[in-house]
């Protein structure tokens, strides 16, 4: 039966010692292609692609800015999904995912804001404006920091995880607002260049490294989050028999 | 799925639904305030409170840029497909300022209907290409105007 096979997999995956064992090799499978792709994207962005016809070399910062902005949204959405799993199914791995992903998502959000400001000064003529896109992205950073702070503030790990799950779900309302802010309202920030539907307004020499970068940084995000989860797991299960035995065995 | 889990899932679903509804209502109520700038056609239609300082955004109209006198003052028009507003500004312009390019001006309308700006920002059109491609494209197409809602079309 497909359902029972799924249930078996679900339970095995949910088993913490099993996860700790296999996640080590998963991390490697994420890290190697992630670093290769991201490295290629950065190299191509700095050296291989031609300068933009209007902005010149300034546009090259987009090979960091766009993947960072994408991951700021992707990370928070993933945390909200884990939040639902935490609240409904009480899966410990989902709780740990939220805690591990929050600082990494916050870092990418910060990176997106900073690279955007650095690009904005020579292009727009200003580092920062309070338009809908920039403001909602800043709110996203505060939401990430809120999740981190909430986790730090509550002693009991299970209560903390549930509070973080709730904040992740509440905050996810901001994600479509960020994405559609440039469509719904007038903003200084330009609209999307790369779209799933309809052609993109970027020549393919420039576009492919960008897509490689987005994929590469996503894999790196997964890799770092997985390591964060392993650390969280060890800490939370430090009194359990399997962790103690592992520590004694070296 | 057990009954408790189904109930929890329902609760989370209701929470998300309620939050989305609240956010949608709030954003609709504050729609005007969420706009960073107003378009010339909206100003022509009279939907913009023009007795105060505000931002106006559109394309720098082709052939409208002139620099009379000292060279610091620049006259041009900001246009979308349906309307255009004359602008006067003196100061430094962003590098991307040029004819046919998106621009946002902050200032006030004077009695003659000229927009006196004290701040100009360039709006990027979200097109990226090399100079070679741009030259090749220019022979084929010419962007004469941008429909209202700069970003919706691009």
Q: Choose the closest CB to B8 out of A53, A88, A124.
A: A88
- Average pLDDT of span B55-68: 89
Taking an 8 Å cut-off on Cβ atoms, the answer to whether A169 and B5 are in contact is no
Q: Choose the closest CB to A88 out of B9, B27, B151.
A: B9
pLDDT digits (tens, 9 = 90+) for B43-58: 888 888 778 899 999 9
Nearest alpha carbon to residue A219 among A79, A61, A26, A73: A26
At B152 the pLDDT is 41
Could you tell me if residue B116 is inside a domain? yes
Residue A216 has pLDDT above 70, yes or no: yes
At A56 the pLDDT is 86
Residue A138 has pLDDT above 60, yes or no: yes
Query: What sign does the dihedral A120-A123-A124-A126 (CA atoms) show?
Result: positive
At A195 the pLDDT is 67
- Average pLDDT of span B12-26: 94
At B139 the pLDDT is 53
| CATH number (domain holding residue B99) | 2.40.50.140
Residue A88 has pLDDT above 70, yes or no: yes
Q: Note the helical H segments in A90-203.
A: 92-123, 132-153, 157-171, 174-184
Residues of B with CB under 8 A from a CB of A: 5, 8-9, 11-12, 15-16, 19-20, 23, 27, 31, 34-39, 57, 93-96, 101, 104, 120-134, 149-152, 154
Q: Are the CB atoms for A149 and A85 separated by under 8 Å?
A: no
Q: Nearest-CA residue of chain A relative to B21?
A: A173
What is the percent of chain A with per-residue pLDDT over 90, rounded to a whole number?
70
CA distance A247 to B9: 38
At B135 the pLDDT is 78
pLDDT digits (tens, 9 = 90+) for A147-169: 999 999 999 999 999 999 999 99
At B44 the pLDDT is 85
Could you tell me if residue B151 is inside a domain? no
Could you tell me if residue B115 is inside a domain? yes
Residue A246 has pLDDT above 90, yes or no: no
At A14 the pLDDT is 66
Q: Which residues span the domain enclosing B80?
A: 53-124
Residue B70 has pLDDT above 90, yes or no: no
CA distance B13 to A33: 37
What is the percent of chain B with per-residue pLDDT over 70, rounded to a whole number?
89
Residue B143's pLDDT band (boundaries 50, 70, 90)?
Answer: low
CA distance A160 to A227: 20
ipTM higher than the 0.90 cut: no
Between residues A66 and B81, the one the model is more confident about: A66
- Average pLDDT of span A164-176: 96
Label residue B91 left, alpha or beta by phi (over 0 means left) and psi (-120 to 50 means alpha).
left
Q: In the 8-state DSSP scheme, what is residue A202? A: B
What total number of domains does chain B contain? 1
pLDDT digits (tens, 9 = 90+) for B88-131: 999 888 888 888 888 999 999 988 889 999 999 998 877 888 88
Could you tell me if residue B62 is inside a domain? yes
Q: Choose the closest CB to B152 out of A50, A88, A183.
A: A183
Query: What sign does the dihedral B51-B55-B58-B64 (CA atoms) show?
Result: positive
Could you tell me if residue B109 is inside a domain? yes
Tell me the shortest Cα–Cα distance from B122 to chain A, in angstroms: 5
Residue B151's pLDDT band (boundaries 50, 70, 90)?
Answer: very low
Residue B142's pLDDT band (boundaries 50, 70, 90)?
Answer: very low
Could you tell me if residue B88 is inside a domain? yes
Taking an 8 Å cut-off on Cβ atoms, the answer to whether B126 and A206 are in contact is no
Could you tell me if residue B61 is inside a domain? yes
CA distance A148 to A107: 12
Could you tell me if residue B142 is inside a domain? no
A53 contacts on B by Cβ (under 8 Å): 129-131, 133-134
Q: Which residues contact A238 (CB under 8 A, 6 or more apart)?
A: A244
Between residues A152 and A193, the one the model is more confident about: A152
Residue A212 has pLDDT above 70, yes or no: yes
Residue A13 has pLDDT above 70, yes or no: no
At A194 the pLDDT is 74
């Amino acid at each position: 039966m497909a359902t029972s096979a799924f249930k078996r997999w679900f339970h095995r995956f949910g088993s913490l010692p099993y996860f700790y064992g296999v996640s080590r090799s998963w991390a490697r499978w994420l890290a190697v292609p992630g670093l290769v792709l991201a490295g290629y994207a950065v190299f191509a962005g700095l050296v291989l692609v031609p300068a933009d016809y209007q902005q010149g070399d300034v546009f090259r910062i987009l090979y960091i800015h766009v993947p960072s902005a994408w991951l700021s949204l992707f990370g928070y959405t993933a945390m909200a999904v884990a939040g639902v799993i935490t609240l409904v199914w009480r899966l410990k791995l989902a709780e740990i995912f939220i805690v591990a992903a929050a600082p990494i998502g916050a870092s990418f959000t910060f990176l997106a804001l900073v690279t955007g400001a650095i690009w904005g000064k020579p292009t727009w003529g200003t580092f920062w404006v309070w338009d809908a896109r920039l403001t909602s992205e800043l709110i996203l950073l505060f939401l990430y920091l809120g999740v981190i702070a909430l986790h730090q503030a509550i002693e009991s790990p299970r209560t903390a995880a549930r509070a973080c799950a709730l904040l992740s779900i509440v905050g996810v309302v901001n994600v479509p607002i960020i994405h559609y802010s440039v469509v719904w309202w007038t903003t200084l920030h330009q609209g999307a260049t790369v779209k799933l539907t309809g052609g993109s307004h970027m020549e393919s020499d420039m576009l492919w490294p960008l897509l490689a970068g987005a994929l590469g940084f996503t894999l790196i995000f997964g890799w770092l989050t997985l390591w964060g989860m392993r650390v969280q797991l060890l800490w939370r299960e430090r009194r359990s028999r399997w962790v103690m035995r592992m520590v004694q065995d070296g | 799925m057990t009954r408790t889990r189904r109930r929890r899932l329902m609760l989370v679903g209701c929470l998300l639904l309620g939050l989305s509804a609240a956010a949608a209502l709030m954003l609709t109520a504050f729609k005007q305030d969420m706009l960073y700038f107003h378009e010339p056609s909206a100003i022509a239609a009279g939907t913009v409170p023009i007795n105060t300082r505000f931002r106006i955004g559109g394309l720098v109209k082709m052939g409208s840029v002139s620099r009379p006198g000292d060279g610091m003052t620049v006259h041009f028009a900001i246009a979308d497909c349906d309307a255009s507003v004359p602008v006067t500004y003196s100061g430094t312009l962003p590098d991307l300022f040029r004819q046919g390019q998106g621009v946002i001006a902050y200032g006030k309308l004077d009695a003659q209907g000229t927009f006196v700006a004290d701040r100009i920002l360039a709006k990027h059109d979200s097109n990226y290409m090399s100079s070679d491609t741009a030259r090749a494209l220019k022979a084929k197409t010419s962007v004469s105007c941008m429909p209202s809602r700069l970003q919706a079309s691009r």
